[in-house]
Each structure stands twice: as C-alpha cells, then as structure tokens.
Structure 1
C-alpha cells in the first residue's frame, strides 16, 4: 500500500511519520519548502503532547514546547478575576513544532514545491495526485491535509458553508526578556468586561512572548480592501487599531504593543463549519483543518490534527479494508470534533456578551 499525503503541515507530517514508522510507503507533498521563520504559537493539551512523544520515541530530536501551569484572567484594569492551575498544557511556536516534525520524517518521504491541482482517475477511482508544476504522484490511498481552505475537500464534497466567527484576532511575537521572565509558565489574559475585547500573553522562551488581541470587529476594524501582504498602510492601520482598542489596558499591554513589530503581525478572521457527514470518499480521506475547523477559543486545533493522524494511521493498520478503516476513523473522531465546534461557538458567544467569568473554559474545558 502506498499512501500519498497532500499537505505537509502539522497534520500531514504527523501522518507521514506514523506511517513511515510502521513501514508504510508514504509520500508527504507540501507546497513550499519549510522555513523556520514567522508563524504564531498555540497551546497544546496532554493528548497532543502524548502524540508528539510517541512520534519522537526513537529520536534524539529535542522536543519543543514550554510548560504552561497557570491561567490568570484579569480585567481591563489588571485586577485578577480568576486564577486556575493547568494540568499538562504547553505552549508551542508553530515553527518550532514544524522543525521538529521535519526532523522526524526522512527527507526521502517529503516532496516540496508541490501545489495540489487535481486527482487523476481510472475507472472512477483516484490513482494519482497531480500538481501545478506538472508532477504526478501515484498511490493507493490519498490523504487531504491541506488546511482550512482544502482543495482536496472541495473536490470531494464541494464548497463547505463557512460560518463567520464574529470575532477577529490579531497575533504578534515580541522579544522582552524581563517580561518573559516574570510570566514564565503563565497564560495571562486581560478581558474587557463590558464589550468583546481581550488581550492574551504567553511566554514561548526565556526572552520571547506571543500575544494576541481578540476583538469584536463591530467595535473597530481595518477597512476592507487593504492588502495585508505588502501594504505599509495595512500595518500602520493595524498598529493604530491595537493602540486604539487597548488604550485603557494596563501598562504590561502597552509595553508589548510598544515592542511589537507590526510588519510581522496579522489579523486572523476566525470561522468554522458544521461537522461533515463523512471524512472520506472512496480512497481519499481528510485530516486536520481540511476535515474540520473549530474556533480558536477551545485551544484544540493542533491537538485535534495530531489525534486525527494517530487515529487514522491506527485504523489503516488494523482494519481489513479502506472502507472499514475510514468509517472507524470517522466514528472515533466525529463526536469529539462536533463537541469542539459547539464549544468554540459557545465560548465565542460568551466572549461577545462580555461575561468574563464565562471565558475561563477557554482553557479548563477545551479537551475534557
């Protein structure tokens, strides 16, 4: 059996590593060459950390991640609203995790510069994946791991109906040794009580911190039509937006904004879609954001992608045929995914209603 993975992000790499470790012929195909720059950071729960440890069992590769042991919720004046001890959570930079996973997968299994174009069929069965550079990869099983805007999903099921997340998020990374040292192991979140506005801060190293601003775009926003990729105007407006919305937040927040290079920050338009009725069609199956997208309030997206890879690889190895394996994979994952979609929407609604006490399950209940 040869497996062709379309997408070399976290889900695709985990899938490739699992299959390679079990002597399955696998090809992971990624649109670009990995570069350890840019990207953001995220929290990962015990379940995802367990998957990473399993993947790295036979490797000397140092594992990334910084333990996060405390969640502190403060109001916009800096006063503590609530404080919770966290069990087995870590903060990862996306680039650090990708670098680790790239080391765990032999280079011979990874093909870069391959932008998926379409499937090649014989007798109504997919036999190969074609790429925009003219290359073709033949296989027996095809796994779509090409993200939220998945072309594989579109070709299997058509366009999904994305639900607007109603909340936007600005993300940035700063270097600030003093602040990072003071907040090691702590996820600090400042929540405006009377409107949908918050600011979060998590150390990713001894000197580096990732920050985010979640906001209701009805409060203020950047005008539509401005290109975020190459526009100085965009980054100036983004800077002004953050300064304006967060002007009454504590000195810690102002410090972060002062140190941040807004040319490396961006706005994330959050969105999701309802659970698909299936994750597969014939010999093609979806994992990660290609299969399901939940709002960021659950902090579960990366963990879910890694669990997809673990579950699907187990099913492929232990069930007698593809149909049974794919059905079992869906049954094992669908209920949890549906819960996370619903939880994300509930937490979003609590955020927009500005009830700070309701925002705590962002961490404590995300993966129970």
Structure 2
C-alpha cells in the first residue's frame, strides 16, 4: 500500500513518520518551498508530547519550553488565581515542523507541491496532481492540508464555517529580561466585564509569544492593513493594562504580527470518501480556546496510522479511525464554543484554562 499525504505541516509529517515506521510507504507533499510553519507558537498538552517522544530517535532533542504555571490576572494586575499546569509545553511552529521534517526520510518528502486535483481511473482516485504539473500515484490519499483544505473541498464540497465571534492578534517579541522573568508561566490578563484578554508565554530564553483575544462587535476592529494601523489598534485596546503589556507592545515588530479570524465547523458525518481521508484541521476545526488543535492533529495521525497497519483494508481502517476520533473532536468543538461564550459573557467572573480531555487508546 502506498499512501500519499497532501500537506506537510505537523499533522502530515506525523502521519508520514508513523507510517514509515510501520513499514508502509508514505509520501508527504508540502505546498511551500521549505518547512511548513505558518503561525507563531502554541501550547501542547502531554498527550501530544508523548507522541513526539514516540516519534523521536535517541539523538533527537525536542524543541519547546516547559510551561508549568498558569497565572490569571485582571488588567489592573490583580491576581485572580495561580495554578500548576501538568506537562504542558510551548512550541514555536517552525521549530516543531523543522524537527519533524528531519524524522522523515528525505526521499519521501516533497516541497513546492500545491494540490490541484485528483486523477481518476475507472471511477477511482489513482493520483494527486499538483499545480506544478507533477503527479503522485498511490492507493490511499490523506488530506492534511489544514482548515482551508482543498482536498476536503474536492471530496466533500464546501463546509459551513461558523464564525468564532472572537478575533485574535498574535505576535512574537524578542526581550531576554521578560523571557527570563516569565519563564515557565502562561500569564493571562482578562477583563472582568468585556471580551478582552492578553496572554504571554515565553518560547525561548529570549523570546515570548503574545496574543490578544477580543470581541470586535463591542470593542471595534483594526482599521487599515498596515503594521502601524495594527500597532495603534493594539495599544488603544490594551490601554490601562499592566506595564509588562506596554513593554511587549513597545518592543514588538508589528510587521510580523497578524489578525486571526477564529472559526470552526460542525462534526463531519465521515472523515473519508472512497480512498481519501482527512486528518487535523482538514477533518475537524475547533476554536482556539481549548489549545487542542495541534495535539488533536497528532492524535489523528497516531490513530489512523495504527488503523491502517492493523485493519484488513483501508476502508475498515477509515471507519476504525472515525470511531475512535469523532466523539472526542466533536467534544472539543463544543467545548471551544462554551469557552468562547464564557469569554464573551461580561457577567462571568471566572476564567478558563486551556483544556483538553485526555484521550486514552
């Protein structure tokens, strides 16, 4: 069996590594010219880290920084709560994708292959064709091409995206003193009576990732698309927040920051059609409040690869995969919406940790 994986991000790379470890031929096709690394950084729960430990070799050193404390404050600096976090880490996306790409056999990882369409013979998909004219023939095709999946669009048509109603602005700032002072901490300042929060997590000994979550319906939105427009909006939005927030804004390069329009979609009735199957955000998309997206993509790869190894044929493997994953990822979609609603509910005095439910095999 030859498996053609479309998408060389974290989901696609994990899938390819697992399958090659199991002795199944797997080709990973990435649309970019080098390691895929969109986005800045993310939190990962111990379940994702355990998968990385399964994939690594003895010589590998995992990237990422331990995050062992969640600090929850109000914009005036008042401490609401401080809790230990069990086995969470913060990873830079580019570092993790570069790490995973080194675990793939070089001859089975192709870049500059942006998916165009499938090629059919006798009513069955036999190859994927890419915009550069190259083709990859195979027996099974896996769409790991993210939330805007072209593979999903071809086999299922358009999905109905639901707006997340909350936007995020994300950036990375270089500041050794802050990175040292906030080492190991996920610090979040959340307003008590409106949908506004600022989060800060060190990614290295000198660098921190930051984000703003805000309700554009009540707080307005950035006007214009220049870095200066974004900087002005962020500083106005965060007026009155502690000095550490002001320091981050003053030292940030807004040309590398971006606005993320959060969204999700309801659980699909199936993750496959014929010999094509979806994993990661292509298969299921949740709002970011759960911090579960990357871990879910990696669990998809683990479960599907095991099903392909153990089931009698790929159809049985696809049903096995859906049976294992559907209820869990639907739960994360619903949890993301619940946390979103709590964030937007100005009467809420509580808070929410990044949370996913542990998923046993």
Shared fold by TM > 0.5? yes
What RMSD, in angstroms, separates the aligned Cα atoms of the two structures? Answer: 1.3
Runs of 4+ in structure 1 displaced over 6 angstroms?
none
- Match status 1:31 vs 2:52: no
How many angstroms apart in 2 are the aligned matches of 1:346 and 1:287?
24
Q: Secondary structure at the match of 1:305?
A: helix
Distance 1:33 1:59, change over 3 A: farther
- Match status 1:44 vs 2:44: yes
How far off its partner does 1:354 sit? 3.3
> Which residue matches 2:307?
315
- Match status 1:289 vs 2:288: no
Distance 1:169 1:4, change over 3 A: same
How many angstroms apart in 2 are the aligned matches of 1:36 and 1:203?
22
Q: Retained in 2: the 8 A contact 1:191–1:356?
A: no
> Which residue matches 1:231?
none
Q: Secondary structure at the match of 2:164?
A: strand
Superposed CA deviations along residues 58-79 of structure 1, whole A, max 9, x for unmatched, are 3412111111110011001011
Matches within 5 A, 1:1-368: 1-35=1-35, 39-56=39-56, 58-218=57-217, 219-223=219-223, 226=224, 228=225, 234-354=226-346, 357-360=349-352, 362-363=353-354, 365-368=355-358
Q: Retained in 2: the 8 A contact 1:129–1:137?
A: yes
Distance 1:262 1:87, change over 3 A: same
Q: Retained in 1: the 8 A contact 2:192–2:349?
A: no
Superposed CA deviations along residues 248-287 of structure 1, whole A, max 9, x for unmatched, are 1010100000000000000000000000000000110000
How far off its partner does 1:34 sit? 2.3
TM-score (norm 2): 0.96
How many angstroms apart in 1 are the aligned matches of 2:348 and 2:296?
26
TM-score (norm 1): 0.95
How many angstroms apart in 1 are the aligned matches of 2:320 and 2:263?
27
Query: How many aligned residue pairs are there?
Result: 357
Q: Secondary structure at the match of 2:231?
A: helix
How far off its partner does 1:358 sit? 3.7
Distance 1:51 1:355, change over 3 A: farther
Distance 1:100 1:84, change over 3 A: same
How many angstroms apart in 2 are the aligned matches of 1:318 and 1:338?
25
Superposed CA deviations along residues 341-361 of structure 1, whole A, max 9, x for unmatched, are 00000000010113564432x
How many angstroms apart in 1 are the aligned matches of 2:37 and 2:328?
32
Q: Retained in 1: the 8 A contact 2:30–2:36?
A: no
Structure 2, gaps ≥5 residues long? none
